[in-house]
Amino acid sequence: MRAVIFERYGPPEVLRVGDVERPVPNEQEVLVKVHASTVTRGEAMSVRSDELRITRLLTGIRRPRKTIFGSEFAGRVEKVGSKTSEFKVGDDVFGFRSGALAEYVAVPETGAIDRKPSGLSFEEAAAIPDGSLLALSCLRQANPKGKRVLVYGAAGSVGSSAIQLLAHYFEADVTAVCDTKDVELVRSLGASEVIDRFNKDFTKSGATYDVIFDAVGKQSFRGCRRSLDPAGLYLTMDLGFMYHVPLLAIVTKILGNKRAKLGVGRYRKADLGVVRELIENGEFRAVIDRQYTLNEIVAATEYVESGQKTGSVVLTIP
């Protein structure tokens, strides 16, 4: 089968489409024929991974441990293991699984996989798992239900998911910070107030919030502190640049009343079910910036790497 192969670190050109063995699902897995996948911000960063970045402890010090790229998928079940019961051949599914940028991927039935909402295309479904699952698991740590929450980086995959989850699942009062070009989109996702970061610095506005969620890891606790209410929480999810946050979380828990916390993203089946229900209720939708074909993986990764994307960048797999 064809897959995007990732054998060494470097510029996006190190990615290539090549032939690999088709996976054989074990008795507790299903084999999915992939119709669409994505390139996420985290994946684009991992390609050019600096040797000092902590991510290499996870992905491989000298070279990537896993050689098939990608993680989000949407497709159709082609084969089921003998000890699976939830899915049958022909079911349309979506989810998260390492090595998803390929014609086929084997996924544990207990993993982050669910039936594709009937109203979504494969491309739309593929754009949902990573951002929504990261946002949901991180936001739960802030207990944001009914609170005033500011989301910085609100137009990215995680940020756009966070806006919708806060507005419709946590029933929070959401303020969003994004680029000029994304203001109307972000407002349509459920933000009660949208700040154009090029026209206004939220840290100098005098407004305060119960939670500040930095969805792109570009703000600091020090910079956000005066924008937090007493007992407010600064939450960031980008471990790649925020090495100091775990220590800061310990210090702020002991000293003072304003806290910092590193959001820990998890990919759980139950959370994907929550997102699917929101989609079916019309309370969550995919945000897609651009679509490419599998053979355009280098161009797609270069665009994600540019930092200009809104929502997700999708790749179709013929």
CATH number of 39's domain? 3.90.180.10
Q: Which helix (H) or strand (E) holds 236?
A: strand 228-236
- Whether 186 and 81 map to the same domain: the answer is no
Strand, helix or coil at 184?
helix
The mean pLDDT of the chain is 92
147 and 254 belong to one structural domain: yes
Tell me how far apart the alpha carbons of residues 164 and 278 are, in angstroms, rounded to a whole number: 9
Which band of pLDDT confidence, cut at 50, 70 and 90, is reported for residue 244?
low
Residue 275 lies in a domain: no
Query: CA 156, CA 39: separation in Å to the nearest integer?
Result: 12
pLDDT in tens, 90-124: 999 999 999 999 999 999 999 999 999 999 999 99
**Token pair of 20 as six digits:** 């690999």
What is the pLDDT at residue 55? Answer: 65
What is the percent of the chain where pLDDT is above 90? 81
Let me know whether 9 and 83 are in one domain: yes
Q: How far apart are CA 40 and CA 131, in angstroms?
A: 9
300 part of a folded domain: yes
- 284-308 confidence digits (pLDDT tens): 999 999 999 999 999 999 999 998 9
Please tell me whether residues 54 and 142 are part of one structural domain: no
Can you give the residue range of the structural domain that contains 23? 2-128+287-316
- Same domain for 122 and 74? yes
205-216 burial, b at 16+ Cβ within 10 Å, e below that, comes to eeeebbbbbbbb
Beta bridge partners of 314: 38, 291
Percentage of residues in the chain having pLDDT higher than 70: 90
At residue 163, the 3 state secondary structure works out as helix
Residue 37's SS3 state is: strand
pLDDT the model gives residue 257:
82
Report yes or no on 87 lying in a domain: yes
Residue 255, in any domain of the structure: yes
Convert the pLDDT of each residue in 52-61 to its tens digit. Answer: 466 666 676 7
Query: Which amino acid, 292?
Result: Y
